[in-house]
Amino acid sequence: MSKKSKSNKETLQNLPSFETTEDEIRTGNNLDREAAPEVEKEETEETFTEEDFIVPETQPTTGPTMEEEFHESIKPKDIMRKRINFWCFIVLALVGGFFGLQEFYRGNVGLGILAVLFCWTCIPAIVAAIEALVWLFKGPEIFDMTYNRGIAE
């Protein structure tokens, strides 16, 4: 053998042995703390019991119920508002659209006044005729869903 390999073996044999157990290292009872090898702490696995997986029978609800949503969708002004008759609206739009009568009937006073101010241009009459035709094609059911939602008949 070469001289180098003998010297390496001798060096390894001359090293002090570290005979410490894991318990000594964990508790800190080893004699030479600086020379003791560090042992990583083992993470303990969490244990779960059946109680951890029990779901309460009545869980709190998050959000409003369907009835509450319906009442929230009805605005306070809707309660005071009267139903808008589909055929009355169509007749007012075709006959009185020149002055914006259908807007007053629908409750849009601002648009009604605007129509009266611009009646000399015939624009309100054209808009009212187009609106009447659109609602005739859409039908009374969609008209009621748009303007009479939440209002009793």
**pLDDT (tens digit, 9 = 90+) per residue, 50-61?**
666 666 666 556
- The predicted pLDDT at position 94 comes to 94
Structure-block tokens of residue 103: 């807007």
* Mean of per-residue pLDDT scores for the chain: 75
- The predicted pLDDT at position 147 comes to 87
- The predicted pLDDT at position 149 comes to 81
Q: Whole-model pTM above 0.75?
A: no
- The predicted pLDDT at position 103 comes to 92
Category of 25 on φ-ψ map: left (φ > 0), alpha (ψ -120 to 50) or beta = alpha
- The predicted pLDDT at position 139 comes to 93
- The residues near 36 (Cβ < 8 Å, ≥ 6 apart) are 18, 20, 24, 25, 30
Q: What is the 3-state secondary structure (H, E, C) of 57-109?
A: CCCCCCCCCHHHHHHHHCCHHHHHCCCCCHHHHHHHHHHHCCCCHHHHHHCCH
How far apart (Å, rounded) are the C-alpha atoms in residues 153 and 145? 12
Residue 30: name the closest of 42, 16, 44 by CA. Answer: 16
Distances (CA, A) of 22 to 97, 107, 117: 95, 86, 96
- The predicted pLDDT at position 47 comes to 74
Structure-block tokens of residue 121: 């241009």
The percent of residues in the chain predicted with pLDDT above 70, rounded, is 47
How far apart (Å, rounded) are the C-alpha atoms in residues 53 and 33? 44
- The predicted pLDDT at position 31 comes to 52
Strands (E), the chain: none
Residue ranges of the chain whose pLDDT lies below 70: 1-45, 50-64, 66-81, 152-153
CB 88 within 8 A of CB 143: no
CB 119 within 8 A of CB 130: no
CB burial of residue 102 (10 Å; 0-12, 13-18, 19+): buried
